[in-house]
Structure 1
Amino acid sequence: MDILFIAAVFVTAGLVKGVTGMGLPTVAIALLSLRMPPLQAAALLIVPSSVTNVWQLASGPSVYPLWQRFRWVLLSMCAGVAIAFVLGSATWNGAVLGGALAAYGLLGLTGWRMRVAPRCERWAGPLVGVVTGLLGGVTGVFVMPAAPYLQALNLEREDLLQAMGMAFTVGTLSLAVMLALRSEWHVTAAGNSALALIPTIAGMLLGQKLRGRMAPAMFRRCFFLALLALGVHQLLR
């Protein structure tokens, strides 16, 4: 039953990624955390998330310019993950995950977007990186506040997708390193995570086929409603 549940979760998360271009780790951890702790779910997600994020990152020509612009955000994110593991957070990671999912769901439903002036990037970027790393080190989800921050910079669509792919890749790999140092990422965990790539890719291919047959706005609305509901459920638990 657990194997079928996990496979269904990764098919669903891959489908969302295929339709919207985002949401794989958020959906997968939100659903897996109904049956297991968030960081255990994050360990299962490392290979599927890394592969799909690198795929997204490599989809355009702006990798090095984006690295130059956002390197302090990314390095600060790594520092945030390390701080989260040093502090220890096993007793409250479910509540933090619930809050992050609910906040992301509300932001998506309202359509509100902040604006960050170029002169503020020097201090805002590292701050966002540290907070994202802290939350990611606790929950395995690196979407808040990195995704709203990158959207606030008015990047071109391809640059935005690449920047998000870069941020999520760095976050996922830094999480894998910290889990390995705590002996929570080992051969068995890596093998299980690699197997999860199969239903993930199947879901992505299905999502890409469905993309042209449904209204993207309606799908995104349902996606954010589901995140809000899952976040509230986690908070109530």
Structure 2
Amino acid sequence: MSPADPAPGRPPGQAPRRGTARGALALALGAIAAVFVAAFVKGAIGFGFPTLGTPLLALVVDVKVAVASLVIPNLAMDGIQLRRQGPLGATPRRLAPLLVFTLVGTVIGTKLLVVLSGRAVTLVLGVFVVAFVVFDLVRFSPRVDQRWERMLAAPVGLLAGIMGGITSAPGTPLAVYFIALGMDKREFVRSVAFTFLIVKAVQLATLAWYGLLTGAIVLGSVGLTVAALAGFALGVRLQDKLDQRAFNRAVLVFLALLGVWLVVRAI
């Protein structure tokens, strides 16, 4: 992993030629802490690993490295979450149109991640995080007739895929879409986990194709997966002991500050 704001001329993901063991250790501990905290929040309140994890990790490594590094931890947790939901039933068939467009959007978004500057990606990430907080605060919960489901699959899927490709967090458009369809909690969680699992697998392959998933990033990502699973397990274990409302508010306040800081840093 490379530190945030790498030196000019050095591509994201390439370690500096000179560095101390202490600096490398601090970088590793910072990355582990960022992923652990984000995974803990996901385990405790059921959402937000990439939304929180990407900007947190971008505090200590290059933003493009942060996006690439979270794909494998995402895959691991989504696989566990999907397995806990039991048989998929009709979910794959129902979500097939949405998935097609989400995967197309993921490829487009990943290409944008490659061609955009680190500053532009940081700005997009900051705006996305602030928008996520606003959506949560206003409790935006539209309702649409299921007759519109297939028609809305294209724009929602493309938007979610593009956002996911750039920021590693496609969840907000998908969550609004699933809620609008009136899915119950179990169906909602199953749909989110299934969609994320497929999308992240394609994103992993696309990142590798474009050269953003280097051997060093893969090794680092595997290590971060261990931290993510530990944080996720602890969050699930403490879920019932936390004041959910207060905890949610604290997370949102932190996200808002983090999002604004990313925007300011990019500008």
TM-score normalised to the size of structure 1? 0.93
Using the TM superposition, give the Cα deviation of residue 129 of structure 1 relative to its aligned residue in structure 2, in angstroms.
0.5
The whole-number CA distance in structure 2 between the counterparts of 1:196 and 1:216 is 26
Using the TM superposition, give the Cα deviation of residue 2 of structure 1 relative to its aligned residue in structure 2, in angstroms.
0.6
**Counterpart residue number, 1:136:** 164
The whole-number CA distance in structure 2 between the counterparts of 1:103 and 1:139 is 13
**Which structure has the bigger radius of gyration?**
2
Using the TM superposition, give the Cα deviation of residue 62 of structure 1 relative to its aligned residue in structure 2, in angstroms.
4.6
Using the TM superposition, give the Cα deviation of residue 170 of structure 1 relative to its aligned residue in structure 2, in angstroms.
2.2
Q: Which runs of 4+ in 1 moved over 6 A?
A: none
The whole-number CA distance in structure 1 between the counterparts of 2:257 and 2:240 is 27
Aligned AA (1:121): E
Using the TM superposition, give the Cα deviation of residue 64 of structure 1 relative to its aligned residue in structure 2, in angstroms.
4.2
What does the per-residue CA deviation read over 1:150-194, in whole Å, with 9 as the maximum and x for residues that have no partner?
122211111100111122222222221111001221332222111
Provide structure 1 residue ranges, at least 5 long, that are not aligned to the other structure: none
Contact 1:108 1:221 in 2 (8 A): no
Deviates more, 1:50-59 or 1:35-44: 35-44
Question: Which of 234, 237, 245 does residue 217 from structure 1 map onto?
Answer: 245
- Give me the CA root mean square deviation: 1.6
The whole-number CA distance in structure 2 between the counterparts of 1:86 and 1:202 is 32
What does the per-residue CA deviation read over 1:12-48, in whole Å, with 9 as the maximum and x for residues that have no partner?
0121011012211111102011233333112211221
Using the TM superposition, give the Cα deviation of residue 112 of structure 1 relative to its aligned residue in structure 2, in angstroms.
2.4
How high is the sequence identity, in percent, across the aligned residues?
A: 26
Aligned AA (2:196): F
The whole-number CA distance in structure 2 between the counterparts of 1:10 and 1:144 is 20
The whole-number CA distance in structure 1 between the counterparts of 2:180 and 2:134 is 16
The whole-number CA distance in structure 2 between the counterparts of 1:133 and 1:89 is 16
Aligned AA (1:210): L
Bigger relative contact order (CA 8 A; separation at least 6) = 1
Task: Say whether residues 1:60 and 2:88 are aligned partners.
Answer: no
**Counterpart residue number, 1:7:** 32
Secondary structure of 2:60's match? coil
Provide structure 2 residue ranges, at least 5 long, that are not aligned to the other structure: 1-25
**Counterpart residue number, 1:27:** 52
Using the TM superposition, give the Cα deviation of residue 116 of structure 1 relative to its aligned residue in structure 2, in angstroms.
2.1
- Count of equivalent residues: 237
Task: Say whether residues 1:202 and 2:230 are aligned partners.
Answer: yes
**Counterpart residue number, 1:78:** 103
Question: Which of 210, 216, 221 does residue 182 from structure 1 map onto?
Answer: 210
Task: Say whether residues 1:153 and 2:173 are aligned partners.
Answer: no
